[in-house]
Amino acid sequence: MTKKIGFIVGSLRTASYNKKVAEKFAELLPAGFEAEFIEIGNLPLYNEDLDAENNVPVEWQAFRDQVAPLDGIFFFTPEYNRSVPAALKNALDVGSRPYGASVWGGKPALVVSVSPGGIGGFGANHHLRQSLVFLDMPTLQQPEAYIGGIVNLVDENGVIAEGTVNFFRTIITKYVDFYNKLKA
């Protein structure tokens, strides 16, 4: 049976490097795993009153319904002010509520941070991991996926350097092993 892995890209920019990296990861998934991209840019900001009043925005419910049946999640995030973008944090909040009905729990996760800077989004990567601990999402620890200097790893045609793609393959192989151990 094919495992559906949700791909959530924290950058909303059309020409996002994170999106380009996510698309490459999707291409590299092995047989038996399939990427499903999840839109987060259309989610209204989380407000608990709307859940309490049973006035849930349709975008929230569609998002929750899309994430709930997934087998795992890959997160791709840029770093904004040493943390994750607001859209990504909002998606985590929307999916974790109402209390006791989180769609995240138990889903094996992968965090990939992509940045033009040399430290590869270290702050965002670790802030996201803090939230995933609370959300009960076991997260691949090694290899760490900090993709720094991305502007030097993608050519004018949008092709990612082969050495970097080989690193992506290593990450995916380790995730698949991690996933299989958790689900055994």
94-131 tens-digit pLDDT: 999 999 999 999 999 999 999 998 888 999 999 999 99
DSSP three-state, residue 159: coil
Give the CATH number of the domain where residue 109 resides.
3.40.50.360
Amino acid 108: pLDDT? 98
Give the orientation angle of helix 86-96 with respect to helix 58-67, to 10 degrees.
80
What's the half-sphere exposure (Cβ side, CA atoms, 13 Å) at 78? 21
Phi, psi (rounded to 5 degrees) for 80: -115, 115
pTM: 0.96
- Provide the 8-state DSSP code for 27: H
* N- to C-terminal Cα separation, the chain: 14
Query: 184 pLDDT band (50/70/90 cuts)?
Result: confident
- Percentages helix, strand, coil for the chain (3-state, rounded to 5) are 40, 20, 40
- Please report, to the nearest 10 degrees, the dihedral formed by the alpha carbons of residues 115, 118, 120, 122 taken in order: -130
Strand, coil or helix: 2 = coil
Give the tens place of pLDDT for each residue, 23-63.
999 999 999 999 999 999 999 999 999 998 889 999 999 99
Reported residue count of the chain is 184
Provide the number of structural domains found in the chain.
1
Integer Cα distance of 9 and 105 in angstroms: 19
> What domain range includes position 35?
3-183
